[in-house]
């Protein structure tokens, strides 16, 4: 049984906790929360996000509760630290945990700085412990369907696609538009798609992006085009936040193969749909589940990597670092108006 301490009781800390309840071989035994004493005492009612349940009252008597991360790392009953802190704290927390002999599961993005991501990977290599980064998108059934379709080759060559991820302005997140704390929609929302594009299509050779910025340098709403050596592969992505609070959070894709196009919107009325070359339309059935199902699948992959000592291809820190680098190249393109080599 892998015993976990969750660092940070916010929306993702809550979602991870709920997901752990349905994954065999792992158990949450501790929490660390430094800035909200009420949550450490069980009042999670103020927790909210752009999907899933809102927080409720929790009985914390069954957990070891800490206000200092170092104390949770020192707990011999904790095998792995699950980091759900603000992104600017990921690197420091992960490196401390790895050096303290703990495995690390860190919520995306790996960091805000690619150099810090590299330092995290080095600390994992030196410690002999696993570092997994919580890029959950490949574990959503619709995206997993895409992965399996590509691997099977049943629809011929992969030609490209468009990905999108848009939300109303998340006013409940402090310092959301601070590039040194959260990173705005680029590093909070779009990095999901950047990670999947890197995983699914490979690393592009260049990117051109344009968008609307807040305070002159924080992308608020933007579109990027990713350039590959093969000019027949066309990949774009749109992401951002809009100011109208009635806008529901939505994300999805339209991906083209030679012999089929696959479309889906995870929160609008567009179930996974396959358009075949003969004109037929298929709507494959996907596994039914709750909002936490993809996170349960993700955590099961983390458990597998810790138990076997084999890195997860989807959650590997190197892949997460490349997704972060890709976002930084997009930022450069948005600010300069130029196509930027990756």
Listed ranges 34-38, 112-116, 195-199, 246-250; the one with the highest mean pLDDT: 195-199
Answer positive or negative: Cα dihedral of 153, 155, 159, 164.
negative
Of residues 268 and 230, more confidence is placed in 230
| Tens-place pLDDT, residues 102-158 | 999 999 999 999 999 999 999 999 999 999 999 999 999 999 999 999 999 999 999
Residue 194 CA to residue 189 CA, distance in Å, equals 9
Q: Map the chain to HEC letters.
A: CEEEEEECCCHHHHHHHHHHCCCCCEEEEEEECCCCHHHHCCECCCCCCCCCCCCCECCCCCCEEECCHHHHHCCCCCCEEEECCCHHHHHHHHHHHHHCCCEEEEECCCCCCHHHHHHHHHHHHHHCCCEEEECCHHHCHHHHHHHHHHHHCCCCCEEEEEEEEEEECCCCCCCCCCCCCCCHHHHHHHHHHHHHHHHHHCCCCEEEEEEEEECCCEEEEEEEEEECCCCCCEEEEEEEEECCCCCCCEEEEEEEECCEEEEEECCCCEEEEEEECCCCEECCCCCCCCCCHHHHHHHHHHHHHHHHCCCCCCCEHHHHHHHHHHHHHHHHHHHHCCCEEC
Percent of the chain with pLDDT over 70: 100
| Tens-place pLDDT, residues 71-108 | 999 999 999 999 999 999 999 999 999 999 999 999 99
Determine the pLDDT at residue 54: 86
Determine the pLDDT at residue 132: 98
For the chain, give the mean pLDDT. 95
End-to-end CA distance of the chain: 41
Residue 337 CA to residue 321 CA, distance in Å, equals 24
Domains of the chain: 2-135 (3.40.50.720), 137-294+323-341 (3.30.360.10)
Q: Write down the pTM of the prediction.
A: 0.94
Average pLDDT, integer, range 182-209: 97
204 in Cβ contact with 248 (< 8 Å): no
Q: Is the pLDDT of residue 50 over 80?
A: no
Q: Is the pLDDT of residue 245 over 90?
A: no
Residue 51 pLDDT class (50, 70, 90 cuts): confident
Determine the pLDDT at residue 223: 98
| Residues linked to residue 140 through DSSP beta bridges, in sequence order | none
Determine the pLDDT at residue 53: 84
Average pLDDT, integer, range 265-269: 78
Determine the pLDDT at residue 291: 80
Q: Is the pLDDT of residue 34 over 90?
A: yes
Percent of the chain with pLDDT over 90: 89
For 164, residues 6+ apart whose C-beta sits below 8 A from its C-beta are: 193, 237, 238, 239, 250, 251, 252, 253
């Amino acid at each position: 049984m892998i015993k976990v301490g969750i660092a940070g009781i916010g929306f993702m800390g809550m979602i991870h906790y709920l997901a752990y309840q349905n994954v065999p071989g792992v158990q949450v035994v501790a929490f660390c929360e430094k800035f909200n004493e009420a949550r450490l005492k069980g009042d999670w009612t103020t927790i909210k996000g752009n999907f899933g349940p809102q927080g409720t009252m929790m009985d914390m008597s069954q957990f070891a509760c800490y206000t200092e991360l170092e104390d949770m790392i020192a707990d011999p009953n904790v095998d792995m630290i699950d980091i759900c802190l603000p992104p600017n704290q990921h690197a420091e927390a992960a490196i401390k945990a790895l050096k303290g002999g703990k495995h690390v599961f860190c919520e995306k993005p790996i960091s805000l700085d690619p150099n810090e991501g590299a330092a995290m990977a080095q600390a994992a290599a030196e410690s002999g412990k696993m570092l997994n980064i919580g890029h959950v998108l490949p574990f959503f059934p619709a995206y997993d369907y895409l992965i399996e379709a590509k691997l099977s080759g049943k629809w011929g060559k992969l030609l490209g696609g468009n990905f999108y991820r848009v939300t109303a302005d998340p006013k409940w997140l402090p310092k959301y538009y601070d590039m040194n704390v959260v990173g705005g929609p680029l590093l909070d929302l779009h990095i999901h798609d950047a990670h999947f594009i890197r995983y699914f299509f490979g690393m592009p050779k260049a990117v051109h992006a344009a968008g609307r910025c807040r305070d002159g340098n924080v992308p608020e709403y933007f579109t990027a085009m990713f350039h590959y050596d093969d000019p027949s592969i066309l990949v774009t992505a749109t992401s951002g936040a809009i100011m109208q609070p009635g806008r529901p959070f939505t994300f999805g894709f339209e991906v083209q193969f030679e012999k089929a196009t696959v479309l889906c919107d995870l929160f609008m009325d567009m179930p996974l749909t396959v358009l075949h070359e003969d004109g037929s339309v298929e709507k494959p059935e996907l596994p039914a589940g709750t909002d936490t199902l993809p996170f349960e699948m993700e955590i099961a992959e983390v458990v597998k990597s810790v138990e076997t000592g084999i890195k997860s291809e989807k959650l590997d820190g190197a892949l997460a670092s490349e997704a972060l680098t890709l976002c930084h190249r997009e930022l450069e393109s948005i600010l300069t108006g130029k196509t930027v080599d990756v």
